[in-house]
Every structure is written in C-alpha cells, then in structure tokens.
Structure 1
Amino acid sequence: MRPKVIPVLAALLLSGCAPVQTVVNPAQLPAATDFGAHANPMEWWYVSAYLPAEGLALHWAHFRVQDSRVPVPLMISHVAVTDLRTGQLTFLEQPAGTGEVTSPPLRVRQGAWTLTQAGPEPMAPLSLKAGPLNLTLTPVKGPVLHPPGFSGSADTGVLFYQGITRLDLTGTVNGRAVRGQAWLDHQWGNQIPGRSVLWDWFSVHLDGGQDLMVYRVRRLDRSVAQLIGSVVEPDGRVRAVPGEVWDSPSGRRYTVGWRLVSDEFDLGVQAVRREQELLSRSRRIEYWEGPIEVTGTWGAAPAVGTGMMELVSGPWSP
C-alpha cells in the first residue's frame, strides 16, 4: 500500500489541507544567495528558457512539499518542452516521492533528475539533467532578492522570492544541441499555488541587457492581492519597478496578450504559441506556461525582448 500513500499525502498538502506554518516573516528577509531548502510547506526551484534561434521553449520545476504529518519532505518535479517548429508540446512528470536538496553548492534531486552546482560560489555554473534536458547554466548576473523580497499577502500566504535572472544556456534538448539564455527562480513559504492563490507572472530578457519580472498575485475570487515588478540592470543591480499599471486586453481564462505599463516602460507581450495549457496530475492545477515576445519602449528608446509567461488558472481534477 505504501506506493499509494505518498501521492495521496502530496495531493492533500497541495490542496491546502496542510496546517499553515507561521515561520514566514516578510520583515525578516533572506539573503539573495539562500538557495537551500527551508522548513516551509511549499518550496520550488524553477528554470525556464525561450530559445528563439532554436525554435524551442522549456521549463523544469522541482517542488518540495513539507508537513509535520509526513516524516520526510515530498518531492514533485516536471519538465515541459515546446518545439515551435512542429507545434509539439511535451510534458513529463515524476510522481510524488523522495529526493534531496542540499546547499551550498546547490544540489536538487528527484530520481535521475538533478540540478547540480559546480561549486559553493553563487556564480558557479549549474548542470540540469532532467528527462530530455541536459544543460549547463552559467550565471551572467548574480542572485537577487526581488523587491519587496516576497510574493503574496497575509490572507493568501507568502513566498520569499529570489533567483538568477540571466544565465547562459548550452547543452542538448532531446539530443539536439542548443544555446541561449535561461531564468532561475527559487521561492518558499506558506502559499499553496492553485489552492490558496492564483497568479500571473512574466520574465523578460530585454535586448538592452535589463531583465524584467512582473508578478500579479490573485485570490481565488480573482481579486488582486499584490502587484510587484522588478528590474535587474545589466550590471546586476536590482530595483523595484515604479508606478506599474496593468491593462489586460481580454477576459479569457488565459490572457495571452498583455500590455505592461509603468512610469518607465510601455511593453506589449504576446504569446508565441497559444496552445500551452498544462494539466498537472501531481500538483492538481491547470496553468499556461510558454514563450513570449516583447516589443515597445523603455524610457525613450525602442525595446525588444523574449521570455516566458506563466498564468495559473486554478485547481484541476484528473
């Protein structure tokens, strides 16, 4: 019976049945280099990349779910690869089970899937081996804590939010040589995605060297709990985006065309491919994840960029 116990417990934790822990204090922010595991109900490490020259988009996610009713943390991981030349979307999942996270150097493992850092230094390269992915990720910029350092609110739960916004990517996808740039996120806290909160998230690499992150956290009634944005400059400095205002052009469940406006920029965001809905049996949520292209202005200058977008719609029952 034990093989059935772990998936059931994972589903309970991800459905929001786990007791909310109160160890997440937004007034005590972690270091930007804090990539290790934490004693919180929810934590994840996440790599995404849009490779226009290769006609590919990909993301890998590793979730660490922890609760006092379970003797060890549960791990869940998945990989999605979109071949934009053929229109094929491949989504692979590992069922809930055991694994490990250690740091420094960072090592994340579930089964044969691993993310391993070459050394304890924050800028040390990382190796990602997961299903069709065999990649080397070399940080171009150092780790940052996205202002204000967390996502969410008291009523939705809070996740600390740090990562590396630009990494050089080389390696293979399904045995095919690729290169480009990637984005690495790390979040942890007491927020349960798809169950206690929904969100819309954008990561953009601009041709001018800036990296833009915009994050809208929504309650289950679709009201906005938080809207944050950050810019990581070409030299690695991070700052909050001033005066941002969102204008969604459509009422679709997955709004794949957006306009992001602030005092500093006016950017149009468009999905490269619409058919990017992912139905996760392990996480029990439905969401859209795929590549985006960005055009508009930054200050007085034209701006062009590429990135990934994630739109969490809500719970899903297989």
Structure 2
Amino acid sequence: MRLKLIPVLAALLLSGCAPVQSVVNPTQLPSPTDFGAHANPMEWWYVSAYLPGEGLALHWAQFRVQDSRVPLPQMISHVAVTDLRTGELTFLEQPAGTGEATSPPLRLRQGAWTLTQAGPAPTAPLSLKAGPLDLTLTPVKGPVLHPPGYSGNADTGLLFYQGITRLDLTGTVNGRSVRGQAWLDHQWGNQIPGQTALWDWFSVQLDGGRDLMVYRVRRPDGSVAQLIGSVVEPDGRVRAVPGLRAEPGEVWTSPTGRSYALGWRLVSDEFDLGVRAVRREQELLSRAARIAYWEGPIEVTGTWAAAPAVGTGMMELVSGYWAP
C-alpha cells in the first residue's frame, strides 16, 4: 500500500493539495554556492540549452518534494529534447520515487538519471546523464543568487533562486555529438508550481557574454505577483534590472486549448528587446508533475544601451495544473 501511496502523495504536493509549510524567510538569503538539498516542501534543479548550431533545444528537471505523510523525500524528473530540423519533440518522465540529493559536491540521482559534480568547488564541471542526454557542463561563470534572491511573494509562496547562467556544453544527445552553452537553475522553498503560482520565465545568453534572466510570477487568477530581472555580466557580477517591463505579444493556442504568449517585449532603463519563439509546438503535459507548460528556444534582438543586441535562450510559460 505504501508504494502505491508514494506517487499519489507526491502528485498531491505538486498539485497544491498538501499543506504548504511557511519555512522560507526572504530576509535570510542563502549563499550563491548553495546547491542543496534543503528541508523544504519543493526543490528543483534545472538544466536548459538552445543549441542553434546543432538544431536542438533541451531541458532536464529534477524535482525533490517533501511531505509529512511520506517518510522519505520524493524525486520526480523529466527530459525534453526538440530536434528543430525534423520538428520532433521527445518528452520523457520518471514518476515519483526515491533517489539521492547531496552537496557538495552536487550529486543528484533518480534511477539511472544522474547529475554529478566533479568536485566540491562551485565551478567544478558537472556530468548529466539522463535518457538521451550524456553531457558535460563546465561553468564559464560562477554561481549567482538572482536579485532579490527569491521568486514569488506571500501570496504565491517563495522559492530561493540560485544558479549558473552560462556553462560550456559538450557530449551527446541521442548519441549525436553536440556542443554549445547551457543554463543551470536551482530553486527551493514553499511555492507549489502550477497551483500557488504560475510564471513566465526567460533565460537569455547575449552575444558578448552578458546573460539576462526575467521572471514574471503570476497568481492562479493570472494577476502578476512579481516581476524580477537580473543581469550577469561577462565577468560574473550580478545585478538587478532597473525599470523592468515584460509585455506579452503574439498569443498561440495549443491543441489542448491553452493559450501561451510566444512573442514578448522586454524593456528596462537600459535595454529594449524583442523575444520570438523559434517553434510554436512546445507545450508539455507532465504526468509526473501534473503541470501543463510551454518550454522552448527563443531568439532575442533589440538594443542595449543604444547598441544592437542579439541573443538566444529558453522560455518557460506555466499554464497551470493538469491531470491525465
């Protein structure tokens, strides 16, 4: 009976039906080098990459959820790979089960899928082996805590937000040799995705070495609870974006009837950038996480400090709770 209850309870937590612990204090921020694991209801590690030269986009996520009704933390993971040359989208999931999460050095394991760091240094290379992915990720910059240090607010719950915005990527995808650049996110706290919070998220790697993160957290009714942005300079310094606005444009309706804004204008005191989805058909329906969301590659053009700016990245738009 317990084995049958474990995935059910993990899904309940992800869908927001389990009690949410108020254990996140936004005045006590973690270190940028804190890769986890933590005693919070929700935690995840996330690697994403758009590889224009390879015609590929990918992301991998490892969730770790905790609930008092389950004796051990539960791991849920998935991998998505888009072949932009053929239009094929592959989405693989591992349902809730036990696993491993330790740091430092960072080591995550669920079944045969692993993310392991070569040593305790925050910039030590990482090895990601998950389904079709066999990758080495070497940080180009050090870890940062994205200002103000967390996503969300008292309405939605909070997630501390730490990661590495640029890593050299080498290895294979489905046995095919690839190279490019990746992005690593790590968040933890008491926010339940798809239930207490929805969001629109952008990771942009600009030509010249500058990285931009924009995060628009929404309440379940669609109203905006928080809009934050951070710039990571080529030398690794991080700062908040002043005067940020995120303006949705073109809307696409998926075959399931959900709407996603696939065109955006990101504006601040120093930049004016247009965001365009490379491919529309990127909606993902996660049986394990019980979430419907759009995730795919983007191309970015515009100006930064009155100079031309060009970049690429990934965009994630969370629609909400989904049950198969």
Per the TM superposition, whether the score is higher than 0.5 is yes
Counterpart Cα distance in 2 of 1:138 and 1:234: 15
Amino acid aligned to 1:275 = E
Q: Please report how far the alpha carbon of residue 250 of structure 1 lies from its aligned counterpart in structure 2 after TM superposition.
A: 3.8
Q: Any idea what SS the aligned residue of 2:195 has?
A: coil
Structure 2 portions without partners, runs of 5+: 253-258
Give the structure 1 partner of residue 291 of structure 2.
285
Say if 1:18 and 1:41, in contact at 8 Å, map to a contact too: no
Give the structure 2 partner of residue 78 of structure 1.
78
Give the structure 2 partner of residue 95 of structure 1.
95
Counterpart Cα distance in 2 of 1:116 and 1:204: 25
Give the structure 2 partner of residue 153 of structure 1.
153
Q: Please report how far the alpha carbon of residue 251 of structure 1 lies from its aligned counterpart in structure 2 after TM superposition.
A: 5.0
Matches within 5 A, 1:132-211: 132-211=132-211
Give the structure 1 partner of residue 256 of structure 2.
none
Give the structure 2 partner of residue 215 of structure 1.
215
1:249 to 2:255 alignment: no
Q: Please report how far the alpha carbon of residue 18 of structure 1 lies from its aligned counterpart in structure 2 after TM superposition.
A: 2.1
Q: Please report how far the alpha carbon of residue 2 of structure 1 lies from its aligned counterpart in structure 2 after TM superposition.
A: 3.9
Say if 2:249 and 2:262, in contact at 8 Å, map to a contact too: no
Range moving further from structure 2, 255-264 or 11-20:
11-20
Give the structure 2 partner of residue 54 of structure 1.
54
Give the structure 1 partner of residue 264 of structure 2.
258
**In the comparison of the two structures, how many residue pairs are matched?**
318
Structure 1 portions without partners, runs of 5+: none
Give the structure 2 partner of residue 123 of structure 1.
123
Give the structure 1 partner of residue 110 of structure 2.
110
Q: Any idea what SS the aligned residue of 1:63 has?
A: strand
Q: Please report how far the alpha carbon of residue 12 of structure 1 lies from its aligned counterpart in structure 2 after TM superposition.
A: 1.1
Q: Any idea what SS the aligned residue of 2:303 has?
A: strand
Counterpart Cα distance in 1 of 2:270 and 2:89: 35
Q: C-alpha root-mean-square deviation of aligned residues, in Å?
A: 0.8
Post-superposition Cα deviations, 1:34-61, rounded to whole Å, max 9, x if no partner, equal 0010010000000000000000000000
Runs of 4 or more, structure 1, over 4 Å off, are none
Counterpart Cα distance in 1 of 2:121 and 2:63: 23
Amino acid aligned to 1:260 = L
Give the structure 1 partner of residue 237 of structure 2.
237
Range moving further from structure 2, 127-136 or 63-72:
63-72
Amino acid aligned to 2:305 = G
Q: Any idea what SS the aligned residue of 1:21 has?
A: coil
1:15 to 2:15 alignment: yes
Q: Any idea what SS the aligned residue of 1:40 has?
A: coil
Give the structure 2 partner of residue 304 of structure 1.
310
Q: Any idea what SS the aligned residue of 2:260 has?
A: coil
Amino acid aligned to 1:115 = L
Q: Please report how far the alpha carbon of residue 17 of structure 1 lies from its aligned counterpart in structure 2 after TM superposition.
A: 2.0
Counterpart Cα distance in 2 of 1:34 and 1:2: 32
Counterpart Cα distance in 1 of 2:306 and 2:239: 19
Residue 275 of structure 1: which of 274, 281, 294 is its match?
281
Q: Please report how far the alpha carbon of residue 3 of structure 1 lies from its aligned counterpart in structure 2 after TM superposition.
A: 3.7
Post-superposition Cα deviations, 1:155-200, rounded to whole Å, max 9, x if no partner, equal 1100000000000000000000000000000000000000111000
Q: Any idea what SS the aligned residue of 1:4 has?
A: helix
Counterpart Cα distance in 2 of 1:195 and 1:23: 18
Q: Please report how far the alpha carbon of residue 4 of structure 1 lies from its aligned counterpart in structure 2 after TM superposition.
A: 2.1
Give the structure 2 partner of residue 66 of structure 1.
66
1:27 to 2:27 alignment: yes
Say if 2:251 and 2:262, in contact at 8 Å, map to a contact too: no
Q: Any idea what SS the aligned residue of 1:254 has?
A: strand
Say if 1:208 and 1:303, in contact at 8 Å, map to a contact too: no
Q: Any idea what SS the aligned residue of 1:105 has?
A: coil
Task: Note closer, same or farther for the CA distance 1:266–1:311 as it changes in structure 2 (3 Å cut).
Answer: same
Counterpart Cα distance in 2 of 1:247 and 1:71: 44
Counterpart Cα distance in 2 of 1:271 and 1:155: 30
Say if 1:194 and 1:312, in contact at 8 Å, map to a contact too: yes
Say if 1:152 and 1:217, in contact at 8 Å, map to a contact too: yes
Q: Any idea what SS the aligned residue of 1:53 has?
A: helix
Say if 1:278 and 1:288, in contact at 8 Å, map to a contact too: yes
Q: Please report how far the alpha carbon of residue 217 of structure 1 lies from its aligned counterpart in structure 2 after TM superposition.
A: 0.3
Q: Please report how far the alpha carbon of residue 67 of structure 1 lies from its aligned counterpart in structure 2 after TM superposition.
A: 1.2
Amino acid aligned to 1:224 = V
